[in-house]
Amino acid sequence: MSAQHPAPQHPQYLEEDEIDIRELILPLWQNRFKILKVATLTALIGLIIGFMTPTTYTATSTFVPQSAESGGASSNLGGLAALAGINLSAGGNGADIPPTLYPKVLASAPFKSALLDASLVIDGDTLTYRNYLLNKPTPAIGLVKKYTIGLPGLLISSLQGKKSEVINETGISPLSDEEFKLHQAIQGLISIESNKKEGYVTLTVIDGDPKVAAQVALATEAVLQDWIIDYKIKNAKAQYDFTERQFQLKQKEFFALQDELASFKDRNQNISSALFQNRLSRIEAEFSITNAVYTELAKQKEQAAIQLSKDTPTFSVIDPVTVPKQKTGPKKSLYLLGGFFLGFFLTAGYTIVKKPVTSFLTSLQADPQP
């Protein structure tokens, strides 16, 4: 008598998975026309927003920060200075700012304030970047956002009214609301990216006017380079200024003693007394000491000047700023596709969760109260 093998049984979870997949796909298929209609509507809304968004142009500049310390010129200069008795290894070297920190420099409040003071020439008139941003008309999409999404903020600010100024005992003056908004605007219009591998920096400026974008890019490049140079040569500049002041003081003292010694010799040409010799020896000793200090300060001054030149970085511009010709935004196709997929997935998600959520709420209402 042959043994009977039990019939194979399918796992329960496979059946449950098939039921779940059917419950997911069936509502989507039944409401496919509704989903497509909503997706088409949101796509049209996205396209309208794309047309309402103002046109933008992008001006760029690519440069490579370089230091005068690198290269053979520095070693040759050091050899020539050594012949004059000047040691270039002494003195304070300024600290380098790596290009990766340039975005941090751009985000700082002092840098933004300096950039807002930059001059622009627009239609023959000269005005600061600050005044340009303040007088720039608000686009239609900005007004829509202001009175829709930003309406609660407007109501809250109008109810609060103007806050009275509080005296800051720390001595740090806070930014005004207008200045803060300008700083926020700069942060969205200007960006800096650094390539760690290649070592170059790319500056990007976006604006609705191509000529303004180019001018702001040039101004940002100049302010950034001046800021980097000032930071880099801070120590060397302080050393040079101090040596220069000491040199000027000692130079006056040296010239005065030199004239005093010459005058003393002229007045006592035929006198050879011991008192004269003592007086002459004291003046000559003082003159000799002053001369030695004066000569040493002259060497230190030249050394500080060479160190200042060494520490001053240079910037090799690879791709200079030009007035952009092509529009860089808005990309209306992205608005169209984004609106379509947004409406599609939102409607599809609503269609999938509608039945389970309704069933769950119905079961809660049907349960007896304890």
Question: Hey, which residues does 201 pair with through a beta bridge?
Answer: 63, 194
The Cα 362–Cα 364 span in angstroms is 5
Asked if residues 235 and 94 have their Cβ atoms less than 8 Å apart, the reply is yes
Q: Please tell me whether residues 197 and 250 are part of one structural domain.
A: no
Q: Please tell me whether residues 266 and 181 are part of one structural domain.
A: no
Which pair of structure tokens corresponds to residue 266? Answer: 């002229």
Q: According to the model, what pLDDT value does residue 96 have? A: 67
Please state the separation of Cα 231 from the chain's center in Å: 15
Q: Please tell me whether residues 298 and 320 are part of one structural domain.
A: no
| Residue from 313, 298, 303, 314 nearest 239 by CA | 303
Q: According to the model, what pLDDT value does residue 201 have? A: 92
Q: According to the model, what pLDDT value does residue 25 have? A: 82
Q: Which domain holds residue 261?
A: 240-311
> Is residue 155 in a domain?
no
> Can you give the CATH number for the domain in which 120 is found?
3.30.1890
Q: Please tell me whether residues 134 and 229 are part of one structural domain.
A: yes
Report CA-CA distances (Å) from 41 to 35, 36, 51, 64, 72: 10, 8, 15, 48, 67
Main-chain dihedrals φ then ψ at residue 149, nearest 5 degrees? -70, -40
Q: Please tell me whether residues 199 and 326 are part of one structural domain.
A: yes
Cα 106–Cα 108–Cα 112 angle in degrees, nearest 5:
70
Q: Please tell me whether residues 246 and 265 are part of one structural domain.
A: yes
| Final residue before a domain boundary, out of 261, 284, 311 | 311
Which segments of the chain have a pLDDT < 50? 1-3, 10, 12-17, 19, 70-75, 77-84, 86-94, 162-167
Q: Please tell me whether residues 328 and 202 are part of one structural domain.
A: yes
Q: Please tell me whether residues 252 and 130 are part of one structural domain.
A: no
Q: According to the model, what pLDDT value does residue 343 have? A: 92
Count how many domains the chain has: 2
Asked if residues 66 and 314 have their Cβ atoms less than 8 Å apart, the reply is yes
The Cα 34–Cα 346 span in angstroms is 12
Q: Please tell me whether residues 267 and 195 are part of one structural domain.
A: no
Radius of gyration of the chain (CA): 38
**71 burial type by CB count under 10 A (0-12 exposed, 13-18 middle, 19+ buried):** exposed
| Residue from 308, 312, 99 nearest 226 by CA | 312
Residues 235-278 have pLDDT tens digits of: 888 889 999 999 999 999 989 988 888 888 888 777 677 787 88
Q: According to the model, what pLDDT value does residue 164 have? A: 42
Asked if residues 232 and 96 have their Cβ atoms less than 8 Å apart, the reply is yes
> Is residue 153 in a domain?
no
